[in-house]
């Protein structure tokens, strides 16, 4: 499967999560594994790196369900700088990582979120990406 970030469509977040989004999430998850001879390569993102980000998104989702998305908008906006920080930390250690590609796609998806329904599409897309990453052998450390 060939992966390119330009295949991402913001409409999957802003309008409706559809088959194309799931296909993209599959390619994206595989790409983040940086498979080399069927095993994660040196540029692979770890499952923990994705889960740390996903965990923060799920915490925002839980608070949003209790208090409403508008009350969690600031927390949602702040996940972009948190992702930038995580990317800088990883790149300071390894110099090469697929985390930069992860950040690029997630920022595109993030910018499409304006409503609670769109936020749910964002969460679902992220969850699909994490699931495919793990299914392709995403490493834990």
SS3 assignment for 41-104: CCCCCCHHHHHHHHHHHHHHHHHHHHHCHHHHHHHHHCHHHHHHHHHHHHHHHHCCCCHHHHHH
Residue 134: CB atoms within 10 A of its CB come to 16
Separation CA 82–CA 32 (nearest Å): 19
CA–CA distances in Å: residue 36 to residues 1, 26, 33, 55: 14, 17, 9, 28
Q: Residue 75: pLDDT band by 50, 70, 90 thresholds? A: very high
- Among 48, 50, 49, 30, which Cα is nearest to 40's? 30
Residue 38 is predicted with a pLDDT of 78
8-state DSSP, 7: G
- Prediction pTM value: 0.92
Span 74-88, average pLDDT: 95
The pLDDT tens digits for 97-108 are 899 999 999 999
Please report which helix (H) or strand (E) contains residue 127, including its range: helix 116-135
User: CB neighbours of 90 closer than 8 A, spacing ≥ 6?
Assistant: 49, 97, 99
Residue 1 is predicted with a pLDDT of 57
Residue 137 is predicted with a pLDDT of 84
The pLDDT tens digits for 12-70 are 999 999 999 999 999 999 999 988 877 878 888 988 899 999 999 999 999 999 999 99
Tokens 């690029």 belong to 104
Residue 94 is predicted with a pLDDT of 82
Q: Residue 141: pLDDT band by 50, 70, 90 thresholds? A: low
């Amino acid at each position: 499967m060939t992966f390119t970030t330009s295949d991402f469509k913001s409409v999957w977040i802003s309008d409706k999560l559809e088959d194309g989004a799931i296909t993209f999430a599959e390619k994206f998850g595989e790409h983040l594994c940086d498979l080399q001879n069927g095993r994660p390569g040196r540029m692979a993102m770890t499952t923990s790196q994705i889960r740390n980000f996903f965990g923060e998104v799920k915490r925002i989702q839980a608070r949003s369900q209790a208090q409403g998305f508008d009350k969690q908008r600031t927390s949602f906006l702040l996940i972009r700088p948190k992702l930038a920080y995580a990317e800088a930390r990883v790149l300071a250690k390894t110099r090469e990582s697929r985390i930069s590609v992860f950040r690029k796609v997630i920022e595109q998806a993030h910018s499409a979120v304006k409503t609670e329904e769109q936020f749910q599409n964002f969460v679902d897309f992220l969850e699909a990406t994490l699931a495919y990453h793990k299914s392709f052998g995403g490493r834990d450390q």
